Structure 1
């Protein structure tokens, strides 16, 4: 695939309103929770924020955030390996910053939302209750 064609394809990938995010939003609505989306005032702009309980929820794509990255990182070009590693490093920094500020951080992976949405909601509700 040419560089131009790959760039055009990659530019069409959305950062907001992804299918996993829509599923989680539906789960939150069914549970009667009030949330904000992509809060600009918090590190990493969490996908969902439950301010009343100081819970930040990230719904991360398996590829972009490197689910099991060490197992497949060597299959990528150096550019993509660096890009995904930078995403992972930024995620760690943002999660630590949020935790130090008193937030509870939940990370839901794309594959978890697809396979077990009820389990994802259970995680959110258990953290919210604490």
Structure 2
């Protein structure tokens, strides 16, 4: 089905009209997942093959970590570089509706910081795996990402970020 170029009703916060109709935009946005994303599934499958068992999206833990390993008091988040405003080559603020997107990404960053404090207060260790660690330029690759993850899980370190080699 081909999208027609039609402007959406003008809103005060909108500077440029949308390039697709409202129905197409709605369908596109509904395809974006917050849980069970491809990067998350890749990490889950690899850790499961390593023998780790975990809870998914635990509602009783701050931030609902993507993976929770109670045995190790470890919470793992698999972050998309765009949605969490990572300082890597995979992140770029969109050219349209810039103020909207910047505010949304800033809210996500602030929430991530609040969750980190809450997790630490409750005695949870936290690992953030960034999408750029195994995708895009400077990636360290999935094998290295998993090796670092396993090493961290078995360690006593309270927090770690796994990311690409380049900024």
In the superposition, the TM-score normalised over structure 1's length comes to 0.88
Q: Tell me, yes or no, if structure 1 residue 110 matches structure 2 residue 135.
A: no
Residue 117 of structure 2 corresponds to 96
Greater CA drift, 57-66 or 110-119: 110-119
Q: Tell me, yes or no, if structure 1 residue 128 matches structure 2 residue 153.
A: yes
Deviations 1:54-106 (A, max 9, x none): 1100001111111118x844845211110111011101110121022211110
Gaps of 5+ in 1: none
Q: Distance in 1 between matches of 2:134 and 2:58?
A: 21
CA contact (8 A) 2:58 2:64 kept: yes
Residue 45 of structure 2 corresponds to 26
Q: Distance in 1 between matches of 2:105 and 2:26?
A: 16
Which protein has greater RCO, CA pairs closer than 8 Å, 6+ apart? 1
Q: Tell me, yes or no, if structure 1 residue 46 matches structure 2 residue 65.
A: yes
Residue 67 of structure 1 corresponds to 86
Q: Distance in 1 between matches of 2:102 and 2:51?
A: 40
What is the aligned residue count?
129
Q: Tell me, yes or no, if structure 1 residue 15 matches structure 2 residue 40.
A: no
Q: Which has the larger radius of gyration?
A: 2
In the superposition, the TM-score normalised over structure 2's length comes to 0.70
CA contact (8 A) 1:104 1:127 kept: no
